[in-house]
Structure 1
Amino acid sequence: MVMNNMDSKDLSMPMGEKDNDNIDLMALVLVLVRGWKIIALMALLGFLIGFLYTRYVNPTFQSDALIQIEENTQGVEALGENISGLVKEETSKAETEAELIRSRMILEPVVDLLNLRTRLTDPNIGYIDRIKNNRIDTQINTPDSVSLNTGNGLVQIEQFDVAPEYLNQSFTLIRSATGFILSNGFDEFKGQLGQPHQFEGLNGQINITVTELPTDSYPINITKQTLKTTTDAINSTLSVEERGDQTSIIQLSMIGTNQQQITIILNQIVQSYVDQNQSRGSEETTKTLAFMETQIPALKEKLENSEALFNSFRKKYGTIDVGKEAELLLNEKSRIGEQLNDLKLKKADLTTYYTEEHPMVIQINEQLKVLNSRTQAIDNTVAGLPEIQREFLKLSEDTALNREIYLTLLKNYEQLKIVEAGQIGYARILDRPTSTFDAIAPNKLQIIMLTVLIGTMLGIILVLLKNLIRNVVKDPEHLEAKTGIPVIATIPRSPSISKLGKNKKNTDRMLAHVDHNGLSYEAIKSLRTNLIFGMPIGAVAGQSAKVILITGESPGVGKSFITANLAEVFSQLNKKILVIDGDMRLGELHKMFGMSQHEGLADYLLQDETGLIPVSEPQINTDISKLNLESFIQPTGMKHIDFISRGRQSHNPTSLLTGESFNHLMAELKKQYDYIVIDAPPILAASDAMVLGQHADKVLLVTKFNHSVEGQLVYAIKQMSRANVQVDGIILNDVRQSIINKYSYNYHYAYGHTQ
């Protein structure tokens, strides 16, 4: 079979290089899975915060209203082109009206009507109360009073007015035996319930009428806000916008913690706007009527005078036949006169609104100038007619013109009076505010889900930061490359030992007793084999014992567990084994064997201080020394294994280990045993391991899988190296082979009996 080039390349590529990306991604996932407890804790914390927040905040309600804005008014325009042309046409856009609704012109009447500047708060409600009650009562404003329900009763204020210096300043109201007490920290006033009072304070007058207060001296805070503060607060909860595109329908929405309160306020805002709108709509009609009322008597009088003069002239001279030219001039001048009067009427009306510099007024003045020039030309022409004809034309013209103006103005005046009687604004209420009592916020489920999500994300970040900062031991191959020391054994976690560890009363941690068929026990045996064949040749051939020192970089890595079980598997070779607890500070190896810590290593080394054995003298009676040494060696009850405990608490164990007593002790023990296993203190906790390492044939460093910090382990090895102690191997303890711990290595298989 012939393989193609691509297959050859794939096979020739190292597996590690092909799977780097997958391993990195899997490593990231496994880091998160290993930190599931932190992530779950942060998610639970987020859930609690979200739940408490939904209990803490008051429910938020909403009230809506709809207003239609008609583009054309129904006022002056209804009179037709004659009079509507005299008044400037106005159109109202929804965007402009929306901003108008937010103005103080609309809101101030609402604030005054509902006494919204008076604010009542209950200072006795704390954070716990808000969470426990899930909802806190807020004040209700009506035209008659301001009220607030409390746990001890009702607060009701009918009037509260203060001098400007007291605005936005909090007062305290307390019920007394005779009425109430009002104070602000400087002033204190006493009054009766249900009666109006006027107090004179340091900064001005205070007018207040208190109808009801809670019992038992329950304090209530009361504040008189400025108008701007109150309207700003209303605008912060009020939404005014056009519904749809170019629909001229405005939607008003108001939110708040009290459905009844926001419905009352929004209803008054709508009514205030409609009232203002109607007032603005009738304003132009009212002004036009007022102008007409001043002009009608003058025009009537002018008409009567012109008619009297004309009648008198006709009576005196009789009827005059005016020629064709005179008729044409008369007709033209008559038309010009009508135009002049129209323009004068327009100008008179416009000057009530604008000055002489307004473009429309200037335009009318220019038109008047042109017509006057034409009138002057006609007059010059007429001047050539006989005097009687001229007089006839003049009187006839004045009479006809004055009659036309008077009748037109009188007709429009009567029509405008009818319009004024039925005048309406161009804003129409489509929907008034109603109370639904359905809270729109908080969305409890959404908030809780969001806080849980945020908590989970924070948990993930913490796990990643922890993994970044605290690079724990996981991969034996990486550990060997990092330290240069071979990992001679990986000890899997024993399920049986883990179960026993939960019971603090059970101190038996010997694998031979609780898990003799487990992978952990087999791993200890493999470590024994590795050590036997790895011993120096001279040490194996000689008669003296082989000394194995077991230590760790930090406490809690399981070095005592390894020491005890390694000694047990060595004893199976029918060799005499001695186990020494070299940790004279916090050693607990005696618990592994179920023995006492007293009469141990520290006691033996301190004999020179008690005077039992003069170890400082070079001549030592060997028999006496041996006799005293045997009294410190305790049989463990396990075949071929003896034990020396740590002994009494010593203040300076390092000095004891560097003395001659310990050298003599080790020399004597090597003659009596085949293997001596010493459990040394952690390297980074004390320097004892460096001293004990001078007497060892093998120095083993125990580190704990997924617990020990890689940087600490490397530093511990450097510390031993500086003391001229070579670490011969690393034991990776408590390895867990699972889907979570992909980087754990365990090549042992249960072989033999499983029972």
Structure 2
Amino acid sequence: MNNHSKELSRHSAPRDTGKDNELLGLFLVLLRGWKLIALFAILGLLIGMLYIRYENPTYKSDALIQIDETTTNVSGLGSNIAELLPPDDSSVQAQIELIRSRMVLEPVVELLHLDIKLSDPSVSQLDRILSNHTSVQMNTADGVTLETADGLVQVSQFTVPKDLLDQPFMLSRTDTGFSLSNGSEQFKGGLNQAYRFKSNQGFIEITVNDLPSGDHPINITKQSLQITTDSINSALTVEERGNQTGIIELSLSGLNQEQASLTLEQVVRSYITQNQTRSSEQTIKTIEFMEKQIPELKQNLEASEAIFNDFREKSGTIDVAQEASMLLSENAGIDSQISELKLRKAELTTYYTNEHPLVVQINDQLRVLNARQQEIDNTINRLPEVQREFLTLSEDVRINREIYLTILKNYEQLKIVKAGEVSDARIIDLPINTNRTITPKKQLIMVLATLSGALIGALLVFIMHLIRNVVKDPERIESKTGIPVIATIPRSTPLSRLSSNKNAAPRMLAHIDNNSLSYEAIKSLRTKLILNTPTTVPESQNAKVFLITGESPEVGKSFISANLAEIFAKLNKRVLLIDADMRMGELHHVFGLSQYEGLADYLSFEQGTEPLKPITDVQRTDMQTSDIQTADRQTTQPAADLDIDNVIHYSGIEYIDLIPRGKHPNNPASLLISERFDALFTELKSRYDYIIIDSPPVLAASDAMLLAQYADQVLMVARYDSSMERQLTYAVKQMQESNIHIDGIVLNDVKQGLMGKYSYHYSYAYGSNR
């Protein structure tokens, strides 16, 4: 492999590993927040269940209509005239739009009183959840009904002026009947009677048949036609089944199965009625036109026959020459064509104006025929007068007879067609009551609600992770800070339970939970500290010094310091605990000692600090008995008598001594850089095998940086799921900028489980977590 390939392999592998680590990190974030995700999933499930109980079930009814190809009913007039009429648009899409039109829906609204809306204001949102179902109104041809807890509401008529449409009225029972009010006006009447009230906007007509008993108001509203038809269309689905099948499928959803079926049935019947009316409209108009023309044509025929008969009686029969016969025959043919065209023109002018292309075309043909007829007439004029008049009258009679008989035949045919006329749309299936709910889909809603809740929980986990970015993953801590995590201390359940009691004093793991993983982790920390401690310490100063600090308060520094001291004491080594947090140190509480006669008191003497003032009665009420005795002794004891032996206290545990924090000084950092502290520490190192210093947090004070100059090893304590990554990283940076080497990070209070990569740090422990 060449150098270039090696270079690519070195760069490509970490990139893929980084992506895998990022995905694994995101997955671990979700696993660590599983409780929050589970909580929101349960909340989502509960909301879904409440929604299922709150929402009324929805039903659906279906119907089928078939659209046939439109046939022109005026075909009885002959193919020529039928072709002149415009074809009907019977496309499926056009029929779908017709079904949704107000022309079809308005008769349904009027028949079933769908524009009257009743509601029960006494039914609250909680009632809907508790009852799991609320009654809905039923609209029929007889009126509108609604069941309530106190009885039935039934209204058979309700009309209001235009200005009062879509405005609610209050309807309630009275001793004499009912009361109707809209806030500004009130009307009263009796049951089962039609009333016409005059309001400021116009007349209100209402017929109330029944109302609930007692003081149970009902809201009633007269909706506008537009809103009512829009609500029907929103629940109505009309589409063609298949491709170019001509079959239209209609479905209507609603809160009442019977209401949905009844409404859809009336929509279907209204459409069929409208289609039937439209189909017979042309036939009816044509018949009406023929009924007007037949008497006139009959009169023309009778008149021409009378004139011809009179002429024959006066002149007798005359033989016409062959040439005259041919001319007259052609002339007769032209007359027949002219008459036919005139009849067509008369038919067309009932539908169109004279400017219509068909009418203009007939006029052009008439002009040509008239011109030819004029030529024939000029030729016939040369025939004898008697013969010409005979032929003219005989042709008039024949033409009038043919026109009359043709119209009469077509009229009779159209009457037969009208009698057997059917709509081009037919009903295949009418809606039936299936009583199957389409919504809410309980299982789907519960699954979606649970998944939505879990998704929201996951988003919150990610958001909290991004915002808080707390310490959880040891490997992440090491990558962020560059400092190894040398120990992870699992949470001790018994100790945590005891610490939740604010009145209880802090306890040691050796006394409460000495067989736990937490105690074994402290032992493991001791082993690592012993192995990592430099061995080039002079014999005169043989104490090994460990500095315990943290990035912020409440990370468990004192807990680690005290229990680590107890573990070192198990080796029969002299151990000294120094509470160097002279502001908020708490180590004296762990061993049940007083904070006074401590480090701050010893260091303050060198700077000429005034003796302690006597404590007041108010201070005594907040102090323990041991603290009061020590404070009283210090106020009566001269400051010159305070030496090293006075500030070293026996802890109550063999081989462990404690220097408490002392009285709160005004300048703790100044005391730590004094020569008196340097001399004190030199003396202490010659007396003990191990010295453990509990120092203030790095970000709260600079004391830890000063104390680190005396330590062989510096440990930074971080609390699992509490310490902030940025704060920990910044604290490490602050120490490193001061040329202080941090030997390791201790991750404290780690929650035991399989949900984090920290588990392997203490999985080898053999202690039983009781």
TM-score (norm 2): 0.84
- Contact kept, 8 Å, 2:44 with 2:449, in 1: the verdict is yes
Rounded Cα–Cα distance in structure 2 between residues aligned with 1:753 and 1:312: 141
Query: Shift in Å at residue 438 of structure 1?
Result: 0.8
- Contact kept, 8 Å, 1:535 with 1:697, in 2: the verdict is no
Q: Give the SS at the match of 1:336.
A: helix
- Contact kept, 8 Å, 1:654 with 1:687, in 2: the verdict is no
- Contact kept, 8 Å, 2:50 with 2:129, in 1: the verdict is yes
1:189/1:509 CA distance change after superposition, 3 Å: farther
- Contact kept, 8 Å, 2:474 with 2:757, in 1: the verdict is no
CA deviations on 1:602-626 (whole Å, 9 max, x unpaired) are 997996122879999998443x767
Return the letter of the residue paired with 2:278.
R
Query: Shift in Å at residue 385 of structure 1?
Result: 0.7
Is it true that 1:655 corresponds to 2:666 in the alignment?
Answer: yes
Is it true that 1:708 corresponds to 2:707 in the alignment?
Answer: no
Find the partner of 1:609 among 589, 606, 613.
Answer: 613
Partner of 1:514: 513
Return the letter of the residue paired with 2:226.
K
Partner of 2:38: 40
Rounded Cα–Cα distance in structure 2 between residues aligned with 1:178 and 1:655: 89
Count of aligned positions: 738
Rounded Cα–Cα distance in structure 2 between residues aligned with 1:17 and 1:281: 76
- Contact kept, 8 Å, 2:62 with 2:251, in 1: the verdict is yes
Partner of 2:314: 316
Find the partner of 1:27 among 25, 28, 37.
Answer: 25
Rounded Cα–Cα distance in structure 2 between residues aligned with 1:430 and 1:479: 74
- 5 Å-filtered alignment, 1:540-579, equals 541-542=540-541, 548-579=546-577
Return the letter of the residue paired with 1:199.
F
Rounded Cα–Cα distance in structure 2 between residues aligned with 1:478 and 1:304: 117
Query: Shift in Å at residue 460 of structure 1?
Result: 3.3
Query: Shift in Å at residue 645 of structure 1?
Result: 6.0
1:435/1:728 CA distance change after superposition, 3 Å: same
Of residues 18-27 and 94-103 in structure 1, the stretch that sits farther from structure 2 once superposed is 18-27
Rounded Cα–Cα distance in structure 2 between residues aligned with 1:45 and 1:754: 33
Find the partner of 2:651 among 635, 638, 657.
Answer: 635
Rounded Cα–Cα distance in structure 2 between residues aligned with 1:366 and 1:15: 92
Partner of 2:496: 501
Q: Give the SS at the match of 2:447.
A: helix
Return the letter of the residue paired with 2:427.
I
Return the letter of the residue paired with 1:520.
A
CA deviations on 1:4-33 (whole Å, 9 max, x unpaired) are 999999999998677444434333333332
1:345/1:665 CA distance change after superposition, 3 Å: same
1:298/1:79 CA distance change after superposition, 3 Å: closer
Query: Shift in Å at residue 83 of structure 1?
Result: 6.2
- Contact kept, 8 Å, 2:112 with 2:141, in 1: the verdict is yes
Find the partner of 2:757 among 742, 747, 754.
Answer: 742
Query: Shift in Å at residue 99 of structure 1?
Result: 1.0
1:598/1:740 CA distance change after superposition, 3 Å: same
Of residues 265-274 and 49-58 in structure 1, the stretch that sits farther from structure 2 once superposed is 49-58
Rounded Cα–Cα distance in structure 2 between residues aligned with 1:751 and 1:82: 108
Rounded Cα–Cα distance in structure 2 between residues aligned with 1:15 and 1:315: 127
Query: Shift in Å at residue 115 of structure 1?
Result: 1.5
Q: Give the SS at the match of 1:76.
A: helix
Query: Shift in Å at residue 377 of structure 1?
Result: 1.7
Partner of 1:242: 240
Rounded Cα–Cα distance in structure 2 between residues aligned with 1:698 and 1:692: 11
Return the letter of the residue paired with 1:655.
N
Query: Shift in Å at residue 328 of structure 1?
Result: 1.7
Rounded Cα–Cα distance in structure 2 between residues aligned with 1:715 and 1:434: 74
Query: Shift in Å at residue 168 of structure 1?
Result: 1.4
Partner of 2:185: 187
Partner of 2:620: none
Q: Give the SS at the match of 1:608.
A: coil
Find the partner of 1:122 among 112, 120, 123.
Answer: 120
Rounded Cα–Cα distance in structure 2 between residues aligned with 1:694 and 1:176: 95
Rounded Cα–Cα distance in structure 2 between residues aligned with 1:749 and 1:288: 104
Query: Shift in Å at residue 396 of structure 1?
Result: 0.5
Rounded Cα–Cα distance in structure 2 between residues aligned with 1:367 and 1:528: 122
Partner of 1:355: 353
Return the letter of the residue paired with 1:489.
I
Rounded Cα–Cα distance in structure 1 between residues aligned with 2:184 and 2:578: 80
Rounded Cα–Cα distance in structure 2 between residues aligned with 1:743 and 1:105: 74
- Contact kept, 8 Å, 2:547 with 2:693, in 1: the verdict is yes
- Contact kept, 8 Å, 2:716 with 2:746, in 1: the verdict is yes
CA deviations on 1:290-349 (whole Å, 9 max, x unpaired) are 111111111111111111111121122221111212222222222222222222122112
Q: Give the SS at the match of 2:170.
A: strand
Find the partner of 1:677 among 688, 692, 702.
Answer: 692
Return the letter of the residue paired with 1:425.
S
CA deviations on 1:371-390 (whole Å, 9 max, x unpaired) are 22222222111111100110
Return the letter of the residue paired with 2:525.
I
- 5 Å-filtered alignment, 1:455-534, equals 455-473=453-471, 479=477, 482-483=480-481, 486-487=483-484, 489-493=486-490, 497-498=492-493, 500-502=495-497, 508-511=507-510, 514-515=513-514, 519-530=520-531, 533-534=533-534
Provide structure 2 residue ranges, at least 5 long, that are not aligned to the other structure: 603-609, 616-630
- Contact kept, 8 Å, 2:157 with 2:205, in 1: the verdict is yes
Rounded Cα–Cα distance in structure 2 between residues aligned with 1:483 and 1:128: 55
Query: Shift in Å at residue 710 of structure 1?
Result: 1.7
Rounded Cα–Cα distance in structure 2 between residues aligned with 1:600 and 1:619: 12
Q: Percent identity?
A: 49
CA deviations on 1:352-395 (whole Å, 9 max, x unpaired) are 11111111111121122222222222211111110011011001
Find the partner of 2:745 among 712, 722, 730.
Answer: 730
- 5 Å-filtered alignment, 1:209-288, equals 209-288=207-286
1:153/1:685 CA distance change after superposition, 3 Å: farther
1:658/1:468 CA distance change after superposition, 3 Å: closer
Query: Shift in Å at residue 116 of structure 1?
Result: 1.5
Return the letter of the residue paired with 1:708.
S
1:11/1:738 CA distance change after superposition, 3 Å: farther
Rounded Cα–Cα distance in structure 2 between residues aligned with 1:410 and 1:481: 107
Return the letter of the residue paired with 2:723.
S
- 5 Å-filtered alignment, 1:430-445, equals 430-445=428-443
- Contact kept, 8 Å, 2:61 with 2:434, in 1: the verdict is yes
- Contact kept, 8 Å, 2:673 with 2:706, in 1: the verdict is no
Q: Give the SS at the match of 1:655.
A: coil
Partner of 2:299: 301
Query: Shift in Å at residue 132 of structure 1?
Result: 2.5
CA deviations on 1:474-525 (whole Å, 9 max, x unpaired) are 56566456446x447313426xx33553465796442587346854143132
- Contact kept, 8 Å, 1:512 with 1:521, in 2: the verdict is no
Return the letter of the residue paired with 2:57.
P
Query: Shift in Å at residue 529 of structure 1?
Result: 0.9
Return the letter of the residue paired with 1:542.
Q
1:250/1:751 CA distance change after superposition, 3 Å: closer
1:359/1:601 CA distance change after superposition, 3 Å: farther
Query: Shift in Å at residue 166 of structure 1?
Result: 0.8
- Contact kept, 8 Å, 2:474 with 2:485, in 1: the verdict is no
- Contact kept, 8 Å, 2:63 with 2:431, in 1: the verdict is yes
1:35/1:294 CA distance change after superposition, 3 Å: same
Is it true that 1:331 corresponds to 2:329 in the alignment?
Answer: yes
- Contact kept, 8 Å, 1:550 with 1:679, in 2: the verdict is yes
Rounded Cα–Cα distance in structure 2 between residues aligned with 1:117 and 1:481: 71
Of residues 509-518 and 332-341 in structure 1, the stretch that sits farther from structure 2 once superposed is 509-518
Of residues 7-16 and 178-187 in structure 1, the stretch that sits farther from structure 2 once superposed is 7-16
Of residues 449-458 and 317-326 in structure 1, the stretch that sits farther from structure 2 once superposed is 449-458
Provide structure 1 residue ranges, at least 5 long, that are not aligned to the other structure: none
